[in-house]
Structure formats: C-alpha cells, structure tokens
Structure 1
C-alpha cells in the first residue's frame, strides 16, 4: 500500500506523537482558518456556487468563535469594529464578508449577536450534527477522541478505528476501537461524511483512499503529508511542524530587528574611534 509520498506501508500500527492539538481542533470545529490550511486549490464548489468566496468561508468561523465569546459574556449586539477587533481582522473586510451572507447590520446599533451566530452557522452547515470517523488512536487520536469541543460545535465522533491489533477492542471515552477493515460498515451505520486521519504519514494515503472509497467526502488530515483525493473530496490539513516553522520565521525576524540598533551603534562607535584616533 502506498503512503502519502509513495512510501511502502511498513506496518499496521498507527502511532502519532503530536501532543498539543486542542487549539488546532478548536480551530477546525469552530472553523478558524488561521492554523488549518486548504490542501486543494479549488476549495468547495458548493460554496462557490452560493457566491461566497473561499477566503470569506475561511474567515466565517473566526467570526463565529468571536460571537460565541461575546454571547457567553451576555452581549446582545456588536459593532463591526468591535467584532473585527475580537476576531483579529480588518473591520472593512469583516463587513464585506458578512455582506455575502446578506447581513449588513443596523447603522448606529451594529449586529444582533444571536442572529449573526445563526446566520453564520447556517452558512457553515452547522445547524445539523455531523458524524465523524476518527482513524488512528495513538497519542494524537486519544487526545482527539476526548476533545469536548467536537460535540459543542455539532460534530459527533461516530467511530474510532485503527489497524493495530493491540488497539482494536480497546475502550476509549465510552467507545470501542474497531478495526479499519470495518470502515464500510461504520460509515453505513453512522452516516459518516467526515473522516479524521490521525495516523503516521506512511499510512495516511491508504486510510484516505479507504475513506473516499466508502463515500466520505470531507477529511481532516493531521498526518504530515499531502493527500491525493478526487475533485469532489475536500481536505483540510493540520501540520503542527509547519506552524512552528512559521513561528520560527517570525522569531528570527524579531531577533534580527532587535539586534539591528545595537549593530548600527557599534559601527558608529568604531567609525568615531577611527576618526579621532587614540
């Protein structure tokens, strides 16, 4: 069986050593697109048919998460400027994004928080509960299986699957881990339309192929590789190492800017010393 990059699948064990993933899962379930990147250049054709740009779709969950925060604090209305600040985006961009949903707010009042939550939730398809199959119950899979944010955002873990005989049959968060070969039955029983891959890279493509073969059309991929899927399948990828590399870039830039004044000061002193002599 082939892996993400043509690897030979060395063995059946699905093991993953990523630990701190809750922020990234929260990102997916509330839809925040900052840390989760599209693997496909043409994102969701159905969304485009509704006239909502893909970039707007990626930001809608950011607004939804911010609105939930405001609602939990008891706030009933919010201005575009305040919502933009909470969401960390530009207010003009926010207003344009919301206009795609037919939501323009009220001058002098702003947006009704509850109404906007409902509007965005409907646009994102969150008014129904989605059944999710989680494949790979290593360290990462254990963390994902116990993440309470799935249920609170309308996602239900319908099944846990693995290929490792030592894990199959294990009871985890009230569910029994089933063998990956049971995937067709799992999807049929639970009307699963979303799959989560939490396996090593060399197993991910095979798992992806299995998910697609049984009719799963949306996949959240935690494996550090790019998956090959048909045009009608949407993939979102979470790669913690890439996020750390991006942070490394910003840290390097900040370090360079911090050291620049000191370097300029030292150069100036050297030139002065050469000019005046001892």
Structure 2
C-alpha cells in the first residue's frame, strides 16, 4: 500500500467523526483524489476497519453478557485497549454485526405512605465528596420460579460517593428484620458520623423502630417527598440494572439459586461493572480515590 492509499484509508476511518475537508488538509491529499479512491475500494477498506474494531467491541460485550451499550463500550475500549472510538461509530458497528444491548425500562414505585416529619435532606444532590457520608436504602423483590416461596426480597444500601452497594440483606419477607440485617452489615462496614441515610416513604422506613435505630447509629435520616420517584432515583437505578442484567449472567429458579445469583451480581456490579460517570467500577474508583 502506498502513502496516498494509507492517507485515504485514514480519512475514511475518521470521516464519520470529522469533516472530510479538515481531514484532507491534515493528510495533504486532494479531496477529488480521496473520492476517486473511495469509489474504487473505500467500502472494502471500511469493512476491514469495522471488523478489526468489532473484535474488541465483541469481547467487551460478551464479557458483560450483553449488558453494555455504546457508552460503556467506549469507556472499555479506552480503558482495556487504549482505543479512542466515538459512540456514533460504536453504535454503527454494533448495528452492523447485530449486537444489541438489553434496554431496561425505568420503573419507579409510588409509595403512598406519607411522613411529613422527616425532611428531604438529600434533595436530589446525589454527589458525595468522600465515602460513607451519603447513603441510600431501599427494598426490591425478585421472583422465584420454583418452590413454594414465590418472592425473595433484597434490601440494599448504596454509597453515593462511588455507587457501591456497601451493605445488603436477602430474605423471604420484607419485614423489619430484613432492614436491620442490612443496617448491621453497614455497621460492620463503617461510615462517617452523622452520615445521611436517604429512603422513600416505604412503611419500613417510616417505622419508629427504624428511625430509632438510625439515631442510635448516629445517622441522619432523609426521606423522599410523597409520590416523587426521582427523589430516590439513585438506589432505584441499581435495582433496575440488577433486574435487567442479572438474568444475562444466570437464570435462577429456586430460593438458593436466586440468593447465589444476587450475591454474584452485586460482586460484579461493585468490582467489574463500569459506571459511565466514573469510567471504572465503583471499587476501582474508591481505591483510586484513596
């Protein structure tokens, strides 16, 4: 391949990201010469470029069981392979080779339980400057397909500094014991004095014993406004990912299998799953910050 052909190939590779006029100036070839080359063999060259990038994209896609989209693939390409590829090109290659990320539908609970005595301290400020100062707690359900037990319940506590699930508990009912076990796990993990614990207005979180437990732990309670799902979006976001992505890693049917699958997914979420705003996993971000 001569120098001009290499320059034409370079222009074609980046023509979806930058104007052709600018690229021909950089490479010092003529615009008409580029279009003649493109008519001659540009499409074949594009296929070769796409195919080479697809190998890396497919590796990231399959390693994450098809749960990653263009944003996280872009971060993965740069982080793992040193490749800078824009999202538009990644989307085009994924469509070309039939890769489709599972798209989750956002669902929020509208809990009717009112409690005007507890302020919304967090007030949708989901950013935290250090670990253990802003936490969010909630409960979700997971279907059990086999056996007499139809549902499992997960209570999770998320650190808003890095999005890490720092404590959780699983049980066959959503009573107060489920919440207390999660709080006990958080106590072992550690947090800052007067940390904020945010929740929605679920019955467990308006329970006076729960409020007393937070006071004893030195935690300030914050609560979403009535019927406002966005106030608690930070923890609902995790539950959405879990329900959409966990079946891609395994298909649990029994109580034991659900428990194992949830534990495995939380480990993956904390240690391996890239968060777009962090451009790394929660544990990697916490370790780097430390």
Q: Does the pair score TM above 0.5?
A: no
- Higher relative contact order (Cα pairs below 8 Å, separated by 6+ residues): 1
- TM-score class, shorter-chain normalisation, is under 0.3
TM-score for both structures, normalised by structure 2? 0.25
